Amino acid sequence: MAYGYAADAFDEYLRLSECVALACLDNFIDSIVNLFGDEYLRRPTPADLQRLLDIGEYRGFPGMIGSIDCMHWEWKNCPTAWKGQYTRGSGKPTIVLEAVASYDLWIWYAFFGLPGTLNDINVLDRSSVFDDILHGRAPKVKYSVNGHDYKLAYYMTNDIYPKWSTFIQSIPLPQTPKASLFERQQEVVRKDVERAFGVLQARFAIIKNSALIWDKVKIGKIMRACIILHNMIVEDERDGYTLFDKTEFAQMESSRGSEVDYTLPTPRPLCVVTMLNNRKDVRDREKQQRLEDDLVENIWAKFGANHY
């Protein structure tokens, strides 16, 4: 997993045959997923959300809890009958990973297995990233930006994602100093998930190289195991490479503008009307535009004096 070698490359060095090496890999990834999956592939707890909101507010984006994007993993031994489904244009077959990552490179959400012919919007339509919100299971969040109150946290995205109230994109071709400053700050924060992809591939060359396994289920388990191990490393090394001063967050607690309700919602079936209303809130374009305008003003008030 770390070096991305073929299974038959260990026969002389470790005295293991190809089938034994593959069996060891299967047992290892099954153990990692079964033992540590619940802890290191968990949804953010209220305490996690509060920390992410504090970091977002410190960076000038109150209500931001991470960035979302997709990564393609090349599948060299894709079955011939599936190649047309997994190949885009004249390229090679790939499998898509949709992930949400935070400032410390922790991957909070991973959705893997869709064909490489799908773009980010197609993957979003099939993913479960907003299922907790739609079903009323997500912790309640409230924050204030530029004097306006909001109740849905959001992700940083690139321009391909739709204008929903839960996504904030950059401003193409900014015409004013405020828009230019917002565009630069947004691009910096949005690249958290791309950095997470790069670190994940650097740590586990099996993901960086082409997948040599035929079984798609096993490929999915390998991806899950690599993300779990990646989050373990992040948890152990987080304090060593984050650039934020924790004392500033202690000073922010008294004037905190973002709050999380630590009382988790009681699981209960929702009626269709409530789910449709939640879906409407997630996809509200008017709220997205107002939030973007408020964030532009907030970024200017926070960082404008240092840039102009």
* % the chain with pLDDT above 70: 89
Instruction: DSSP letter for 145, please.
Output: E
Q: Distance of CA 168 to CAs 66, 69, 100, 175, Å?
A: 11, 12, 14, 18
- The predicted structure's pLDDT at residue 185: 93
- The predicted structure's pLDDT at residue 197: 95
CA distance linking residue 271 with residue 203, whole number of Å: 45
pTM of the complete model: 0.89
Q: What average pLDDT does the segment 14-27 reach?
A: 83
Confidence category of residue 221, pLDDT binned at 50, 70, 90: very high
pLDDT tens readout for residues 92-136 = 999 999 999 999 999 999 999 999 999 999 999 999 999 888 888
- Whether 252 has a pLDDT exceeding 60, the answer reads no
- The predicted structure's pLDDT at residue 95: 95
Q: Which helix H or strand E contains 203, and what residues bound it? A: helix 192-203
- Whether 155 has a pLDDT exceeding 60, the answer reads yes
Confidence category of residue 276, pLDDT binned at 50, 70, 90: confident
